[in-house]
Structure 1
Amino acid sequence: MTEPTKDSTEPTNNPPEARAGEARACEARACEASACEASEAFRVGMLVRRAVLGDAHVDAATAAITPETADFQSFITRYAWGEIWTRPGLDRRTRSFLTIASLVTGTHLHELAMHVRAALGNGLTRAEISEAILHTAIYAGVPAANSAMTVARDTFAALDAEAGAVPGAEAGASASDPGADPGADPGADPGADPGADPAADPGADPGASASSHPRTSS
């Protein structure tokens, strides 16, 4: 008499080793998906970081990476630039306003100059940046805002100096034009391109020039 064949659809009890193997396989698939998402966030974050801060800054930061700081650099690129700065709820101009106010409030002045430059690139004027800092004086304190205003003025002055030192930076200047002097005030050259980068346009801050105001002190 033949033995009845076992139904192939009958459930079987997997041994612990098999269950552990399945768990490891699921974990590996999850890690792979997570790695893909992290890789995409890093790629997008790097694009935004370069667009906002400029290639020169990002290249310098990348060149300074060490084994100890690599994870942190990856973290800020993925989360700050790849997750937050890319969100559709606010445009970059508004995010620059918030960033400047946050840095002043937290007295993180070592990063303020970098974001003042970024804000100009994102469409803020010098007058608007100064107004944002003035506003923080009420809510974050006068000493913090005072120090921040000094950083902003120094940054504006540095940008003016950089613009004057670059050959051909002013479209209206020529080799025989005294206005082409690298040390000259860009605002004094009537031939300056009105469509130039706001960072290099003293007219963006009516009545205010970094070189015409003494450094303030608290």
Structure 2
Amino acid sequence: MGNNTVIQKNGVTNYQTAQSQHQQALRRGILDDASSLLIREGPTALSMRRIAQLVGCSTTVLYTMFGNKQGLVDQLYLRGFEKLCQALQAVSCTGSSHDYIYALGRAYYQFALDNSTYYAIMFSNPIAEYVPSETSQQLGQESLKLLVQALQDCAPIDEDEAWNQARIIWATIHGHVTLELAGYFDYPYVVPQQTLERALKALISQLLPVKSE
């Protein structure tokens, strides 16, 4: 009897876990489709009814998951930063701190190219009436924490200065990526990634001179 009870509980637990994973995967799939729809057809296409038609579910499912359109757009914004954090956390922390900072910069750059629809939602304000809440913006800032820590590992600077330097580096990469996505580097003999590498090396060497042995 006791063993059967244990088996039953494990079965329920496994079912609940599987159900939760399915719901998370479904949510992510809906957000991916909605982000592509927004960039492809513009903000007027981003209605709960249109998204429901696109993903093949009822509007009731969407309202249950996201509350309303504002809630869905907020989740798009947060999903973008979640994906960015995952990309940065996947960077291996090997070699010198300087190398790690360069690697984080390259990961950010690659994330933007691979997720241009989310990147637009995060930074280009494609829905004029949407303003992320202060809480959502703070969660977005969390993506800089790895860079802040790496900067503190490089030099004896306090946390405030590390955040300032992180934002300078972030602004440099963001500016480059924004120009590249807009087509401003579509010229012969121009290799955008090499241009970014040069900019980062010049900037980081100025902010954080390599320590002498």
Q: Higher RCO, 1 or 2 (CA under 8 Å, sep at least 6)?
A: 2
Query: Which TM class, normalised by the smaller chain length?
Result: 0.3 to 0.5
* Structure 1 length-normalised TM: 0.35
Higher helix share: 2
Give the structure-2-normalised TM-score. 0.36
Bigger Rg over Cα:
1
